[in-house]
Amino acid sequence: MHQTWTIKPLLQQRAMALAVAGAAAGALAAMFLTSPATAAATGPATSAAPAITPAGTVYSIINLGPDSGGTALLNERGQAAFNSFNYYGGTNGYFDGDRIREIGTLGGSYTEITALNNQGVVVGSSEDGAEHSNVLGFTWTAAGGMRALPGTSVASAQAINDLNYIAGLNSEAGISARAVRWNPGGSITPLGPRPTSLSEASAINQLHVATGFADSASGIINATLWDASGNPTNLGTLGGSRAFGFHINALGEVAGRSDITGNTREIGFFWRRLGGMLPIDGGGPLTDVADLNDRTEAVGYTLRSDERLVAYKWTPTSGLTQLPSLSFRDTVASDINNGGDIVGSAQLPVGQGYASSRAVRWGGVTTPIDLNARLYRAPAGLIVHSGHAINDAGVILANSNAGLVMLRPGTRGTDAPVLGPIATLPRSVQLGQDLTLTVGFVDNSVTQTHKASVVWTDGCPSPAPTVREAAGTGQVTLRHRFCATGFQAVRLRVTDSGGRSTELLQDVMVEDPAQASLSGTGTLRAGTAATGRTTSAAPLRFSLWAPLGGASQRAGAAGVMLNGPFHFRSEQVASVSREGQLARVSGTGRFNGRAGYRFTLEAQDGGSQNGATDRLRVRITHVDATTDTEVVDYDNAAPANLRAATPARDLSAVADGSLALRN
């Protein structure tokens, strides 16, 4: 079943990675011809994956775009749509099966993609170019481009079926927004009666039946089903104060999440007319439903009380079955197709965080297959972190250390070069640090030559990239010394002699070690978020650098970048203060590309206190334009009811990294 990977309905699983096996043996380096930005094919350049493929299904690799807390969508025709938020604000694209096309905006600086149907129609929300910009729902096709949907600001198209009926929300006077359906002729059908404050449709099936949620005068938020005429069915909750319908299948069955009685835990639910709402409960503080297929099979994960993540499959007859983990530790199931194949991620028993995880596939309730062992001619150093979506043909979308990739069954991808990661570039570097970076690549043509170009956003001079290659494999070498602090990025393009090119983009934080400052990179562990209404608990990668004292006001000096279930980038750091080994940073920035969000960080450098744990509190909010009330978009400090339920949980501990306060 094709999968939408967004922050709204789903747990956004942790990016999980695996080092790919190296590739075929090369000849001596002396066989290379090396020149600035281009080279002839005269000898092997770098290790790459063996041309002899492992037993079972193998996958060709197609680079799609950066991995920066955006959206990844896959349909049954093997087309994909995606967006990413990065140094350049936001990038997006549509992959037609061979080439990537830019989707663009309605004239402003922001587009969020939320759904893709099997006809290749993309929907979402985008900022227009008006003086006081509006955020409107849109549709996009390769032939017709982007068109605004009728409605008011703020509006968002959240889902689309194959007949081009679109479900989402539209703002309305006196309330935040209400659930609506846009019909192919352009008319709008309100879904249900006017809510007290907010209703939203998150998914729609081919019969135009939609699901989502609606609030009530009592303050309860109920999961809701709307029929083709817009009439509602209140699905209720599992005893708590909130429930959200996130998935609907061809049978009109719904899956989502709900608080339980007392609001002490949030678990999954399944609903159908005969039987009503059933719990999907793994027993821990949180059980999330990632997908529901047309065979009444749901998958997701459970966060246990010991903070382990356990992938599961659920059916009404068999209940919740833990997916085999083999020797892996944490496991997460992200998507299931109608054949019962499941993709997700699993963490190695040794190590922690980003570098110790692998993208996996389960053939039903079977031993997981490490997708990294099934890659055909992978470029050197490629690590596939996590599987996000799988269609009925077995095509997979996955995150890697080279960004979002498509894994297509078989040995033929596209004619464009396949790039590995920008090796040895960390998330944070020091001002003036000399960097020598390499990028491996492969091409399905062994006779083509390649050239490379690079953009360093600090504008400082650097040598031209060099290329070494032979027989369809190669390596680009980059050298640079950053001369400006704050957010920076490197953008690399490799072009073959046939005119096909592939691009890599990686953000980096540049800090000045000579200044008193707060700095750090790392991950807040999965399941630590006590979320706002529309986001979900998930691991969060962070990079930050904030000079202390008057230097913090220097333009471009301080910066905060968060990436995982969402992307956040600070635009203005208004305040930096320090009390002992605790620092506080606050300001404003863009949340998934949208401006006007406030953030507050509280960072504790535990390493300076006899090796204590580093901790980072993150809170992001915005003000609802209609109700003038504060809305919490992300907060990894647990609410009182969750603290009472699980008092031992450390909700701010930094994993896979560290924080440092310099005097």
The most distant pair of C-alpha atoms in the chain lies apart, rounded to whole Å, by 76
Give the amino acid at 514.
Answer: A
427 vs 8, residue with greater confidence: 427
The pLDDT-based confidence of 306 (bands split at 50, 70, 90) is confident
Q: Is the pLDDT of residue 52 over 60?
A: no
Mean pLDDT of 506-527: 82
Tell me, what amino acid is at 528? T
pLDDT at 197 over 60: yes
CA of 530: how far to CAs of 309, 486, 588, 625, in Å?
16, 29, 20, 23
DSSP string, 7-47: TTTS--PPP---PPP--S----GGG---EETEE-B-S--S-
- pLDDT tens for each residue of 442-477: 999 999 999 999 999 999 999 999 999 999 999 999
Q: Among 302-311, 521-530, 559-568, 624-633, where is mean pLDDT lowest?
A: 521-530
SS (H, E, C) 388-449: EEECCCCCEEEEECCEEEEEEECCCCCCCCEECCCECCCCEEECCCEEEEEEEEECCCCCCC
Q: What pLDDT score was predicted for residue 68?
A: 58
Q: Quick one: pLDDT at residue 581? A: 87
Would you state the pLDDT for residue 244? 96
Residue 334 confidence (pLDDT):
95
Cβ-contact 230, 181 below 8 angstroms:
yes
- Work out the mean pLDDT of the chain and round it to a whole number: 85
C-beta of residue 469 within 8 angstroms of C-beta of residue 449? yes
- Identify the band that residue 554 occupies on the pLDDT scale cut at 50, 70 and 90: very low
User: What stretches of 605-653 adopt beta strand conformation (E)?
Assistant: 615-623, 630-635
Collapsing DSSP to helix, strand or coil, 608 comes out as: helix
Q: How far, CA to CA in Å, does 111 sit from each of 119, 151, 160, 161, 222?
A: 20, 17, 17, 20, 29
Tokens of 473: 């494999």
DSSP 463: P
Q: Which of 17-31, 179-193, 336-350 has the highest mean pLDDT?
A: 179-193
Compare 567 and 397 and report the one with higher pLDDT.
397
- β-strand pairing of 486-496 with 418-419: unpaired
- Give the pLDDT confidence of 251-274 residue by residue, as tens digits: 999 999 999 999 999 999 999 999
Under DSSP, the state recorded for 644 is H
CA dihedral 155, 158, 161, 164 (to 10 degrees): 20
Res. 11: pLDDT tops 70: no
Please give the sequence-ordered ranges of beta strands (E in DSSP) within 304-348, or none if there are none.
309-315, 319-322, 331-336, 341-347
Q: Which of 240, 250, 311 is nearest to 279 (CA)?
A: 240
Residues above pLDDT 90, as percent of the chain? 62
- Report pLDDT for 407: 98
Q: What local confidence, expressed as pLDDT, does residue 593 receive?
A: 76
Q: For the segment 203-234, what is each residue's pLDDT rounded down to a tens digit? A: 999 999 999 999 999 999 999 999 999 999 99
232-236, 602-606, 611-615 — which is least confidently predicted?
Answer: 611-615
SS3 at position 640: helix
Cα–Cα distance for residue pair 343/325, rounded to 1 Å: 13
pLDDT band at 638 (very low <50, low <70, confident <90, very high): low
Query: What is the pLDDT at residue 235?
Result: 98
Which residues neighbour 12 within 8 Å (Cβ) at sequence distance 6 or greater? 5, 6, 69, 536, 538, 564, 565, 566
pLDDT digits (tens, 9 = 90+) for 281-295: 999 989 999 999 999
Q: Which amino acid is at 386?
A: S
Percent of the chain whose pLDDT exceeds 70: 84
* Average pLDDT for 117-130: 96
Across residues 363-375, what is the average pLDDT? Answer: 94
Nearest to 650 by CA among 623, 613, 624: 613
pLDDT on residue 608: 58
Domain ranges of the chain: 512-662
State residue 243's pLDDT score.
Answer: 97
Q: What is the pLDDT of residue 353?
A: 65
Which token pair is 657?
């990294």
Distance CA 72, CA 92 (A): 10
Whether 138 and 125 have beta carbons less than 8 Å apart is answered as yes
| Complete edge-to-edge strand list for the sheet that includes strand 135-141 | 107-116, 122-128, 135-141, 145-148
Averaged pLDDT, 319-348:
94
Q: Cβ distance 450 to 430 under 8 Å?
A: no
Question: Residue range 399-408: average pLDDT?
Answer: 96
d(CA 451, CA 421): 17
Exposed, middle or buried: residue 227 (CB in 10 Å: 0-12, 13-18, 19+)?
middle
CB-based contact 328:552 (threshold 8 Å): no
Of 4-8, 268-272, 324-328, the one with minimum mean pLDDT is 4-8
Q: Considering Cα of 38, then 40, then 44, then 50, what sign does the dihedral take? A: positive
* Residue 179: per-residue pLDDT: 98
Please answer whether residues 575 and 588 qualify as being in contact, where contact means their C-beta atoms are separated by less than 8 angstroms.
no
Rounded to whole angstroms, the Cα distance separating 32 from 627 reads: 65
The larger pLDDT score, comparing residue 162 to residue 185, is at 162
Place 517 in a pLDDT band, splitting at 50, 70 and 90.
Answer: confident
Give the phi and the psi of residue 354 in degrees, each rounded to 5: -55, -45
pLDDT over 60 (residue 189): yes
DSSP conformational letter for 653: B
